Structure 1
Amino acid sequence: MSVPKLEDVAARAGVSPATVSRYLNKPEVVAKATGERIQAAIVETGYIPNLIAGGLASSKSRLVAVLIPYISNSIFDATIEAMVEELSAGDTNVMLGLTGVDPARTDKLIRAALSRRVDAIITTGEMTAEHQALLRSSRTTVLQIWDFPADPIDIAIGFSHVDLGRDIARFLHTRGYRRPHVITAAGSRAKLRRDGIVSEWAVLGGEGMTEASVPIPSRFGYARGAFADMRRLEERPDVVVCGSDFLAMGLIVEAQAAGLKVPEDLAVMGFGNSSNAGEMRPTITSVDIDGSRIAREAISVIRRRLKGEDVPERRIDVGFRLIARESA
């Protein structure tokens, strides 16, 4: 598939290339109806304007776009910091975009990155079918980190969230827990982990699992409502599996405030292995994802592509590690 050109947009909109150029540079000077036709043609063709000065820049922009849903309470901190540090040391600038959970915002940031002819786009957010099609047609290196889809847009660097959930279920069962309560954040990856826990718990013959959900990102403050809801259950859980270490810390605080001992009365498990997980009292059992390795793999792929080398691996599995501490 050839990359759409300005002339393709002009032909689709029924105007001259010069009119399209004027619209891109100063949309206010183009008649409203004409501008609407041009914008529709841009979307239909998948055309991405070249915002690099004069369009004469080399094919290597020395710019990488990193698109993440959020920074606050982010489990991606270690990965992003490692990538930014390494890329900066290699004389590559990083364009950081916060997508949130709004597809329109994601679309805007993707187009902004492509229009600047970035060397690569690194993303952790969810992509619509339209976004995937746009990125595939761009011929830009696209790295989906923390994800492990069967059919990546380009290359995925992550791990199986379903397998991780299964390991959590086996850990809980082996440790003798019988009434787990799973608090899932409202995101696709968290739901995959939840599915792994639920399916493996059933295979192990476990019963009595209860569930709840919280918005993303799963903040410390959500623990108060989650704990209150859990206390109203017909049978009290003996272990709570949280979607993040931040939520796990909040649950521990709420449990202790209610006079419960952790883990004797209620065990708590987190996710992400944040630095706080090992500093809490009790220390928090969590799942460690090697963010630094994800960063190294991503940078290796980008550098190989810039050298014109083939990268045959479409899915790079970095695995995960369950770390048992005092809380469970």
Structure 2
Amino acid sequence: MSSPLLPIVRTAKSHRATGRVTLTDVAQAAGVSPSTVSRALRGERAVDPALIERVQAVSVKLGYVPDPAARALASQRSNHVAILIPLLSNALFVDLLDAAQKTLRAAGYQTLMGVTHYDASEEEQLLREQLLHRPAGLLVTGLDHNPVTRQLMDSSQVPCVHLMDLPAADQGEGPYCVGFRQTDAGAAMTRHLLQTGRTRIAFAAAQLDPRVMQRLYGWRTALQEAGYYEPALEFLNPAPSSLALGGVLFEQIMRQRPAVDAIFFCNDDLAQGALMAALRMGIQVPSQVAIAGFNDLTGSDQMLPPLTTVRTPRAQIGQAAAEMLLTLMRSEAPASAQVDLGFEILQRQST
């Protein structure tokens, strides 16, 4: 049952010359301190739900609208977290963003998102813009940034956690980050294909962002170790990843290198497009050629045949990175500077 409202002892009119209703007005009307009003309106878990409801009702009645600029000026930092991701058209980043945002909102923080489109200069400009708003923290995708962006992150002294990538094991701790090693995942899928008896394994990639190139390196390393590496079996296209491009790449590979017995696609949408092209072309998967993908995107388990892929923990990465950032924003040290959430090879009927 909801707690009854305290009597409203003030009207909506503020003593400010501007007539704007202030946080102090809401606090006096609700019979609590301004800091309690601030915490209640942010929805912090430590505040009693009945008190949150009471303060929200008072603020609505008075017509109070929070002023984020004034809040940031008073505290030298806002209650928002800036998040930079490469794309919104890729379910990978949507899942990551959703998990991070839920975790941050539960702690009373808002998120301000920027989309970099895999462009280093655009990432730099977005970061400059975000830092003008004095964010409480930063979540940034990847570890590959231009020198100016790195300098901006370091000099801002804003707590920052990197998403998706981890430094190589021999590079030391590096920055705060949550993810997995893309190179290891690429090598693991290649070894899986080798274990099924395939020896002429092509690698097909689009977008060619740093994480894709790390998967390529893992593929190369595994084949070199096994003695089956052929540079001619690399098919790299800088265009955005899509089902349509996957079909094009599959047709290109089968036309130029018909003896391949497996194709490792850098992303599931490419592999899904390849499976559709194989059906059109009458090519049997996996008896003629095995097909594998990466990320276990929606629909991969429903393909014909179901797609073998690397399952990546993107929602868990978003949540864990947000939790690490919350720790840093409390001026506390995380248990570890790096959190490796690993990956999983999902063997289905396409290999």
Indicate the larger mover: 149-158 or 163-172.
149-158
Aligned-pair CA distance for 1:75: 2.2
Separation of aligned partners in 2, 1:136 and 1:151: 18
Of residues 178, 196, 214, the one that matches 1:175 is: 196
Residue of structure 2 in register with 1:102 after alignment: 119
Separation of aligned partners in 2, 1:70 and 1:230: 27
C-alpha spacing 1:320/1:219, structure 2 compared with 1 (3 Å): same
C-alpha spacing 1:152/1:63, structure 2 compared with 1 (3 Å): farther
Indicate the larger mover: 312-321 or 105-114.
312-321
Q: Is the 8 A contact 1:273 1:289 kept in 2?
A: yes
Residue of structure 2 in register with 1:156 after alignment: 177
Separation of aligned partners in 2, 1:242 and 1:231: 14
What does 1:185-224 align with in structure 2 at a 5 Å threshold?
Answer: 185=206, 186-208=208-230, 210-215=233-238, 217-224=240-247
Residue of structure 1 in register with 2:161 after alignment: 143
Indicate the larger mover: 248-257 or 221-230.
221-230
Of residues 138, 142, 148, the one that matches 1:121 is: 138
How big is each residue's C-alpha offset from its partner over 1:73-111, in whole Å with a ceiling of 9 and x where there is no partner?
342222111112222233211111111133332112101
How big is each residue's C-alpha offset from its partner over 1:191-215, in whole Å with a ceiling of 9 and x where there is no partner?
1111111111111122556110122
TM-score normalised according to structure 2 size: 0.74
- For residue 288 of structure 2, give the secondary structure of its aligned residue in structure 1: coil
Of residues 92, 99, 106, the one that matches 1:89 is: 106
Residue of structure 2 in register with 1:34 after alignment: none
Amino acid at match of 2:193: L
Long gaps (5+) in structure 1: 1-50
Separation of aligned partners in 2, 1:93 and 1:253: 41
TM-score normalised according to structure 1 size: 0.79
Q: Is the 8 A contact 1:145 1:156 kept in 2?
A: yes
Of residues 302, 305, 312, the one that matches 2:328 is: 305
Residue of structure 2 in register with 1:246 after alignment: 269
Q: Is the 8 A contact 1:136 1:154 kept in 2?
A: no
C-alpha spacing 1:206/1:89, structure 2 compared with 1 (3 Å): same
Q: Is the 8 A contact 2:176 2:338 kept in 1?
A: yes
Separation of aligned partners in 1, 2:346 and 2:131: 39
Amino acid at match of 1:318: L
C-alpha spacing 1:131/1:255, structure 2 compared with 1 (3 Å): same
- For residue 146 of structure 1, give the secondary structure of its aligned residue in structure 2: strand
* Greater Rg over alpha carbons, structure: 2
Long gaps (5+) in structure 2: 1-67
Separation of aligned partners in 2, 1:89 and 1:112: 25
Amino acid at match of 1:213: L
Separation of aligned partners in 1, 2:101 and 2:341: 19
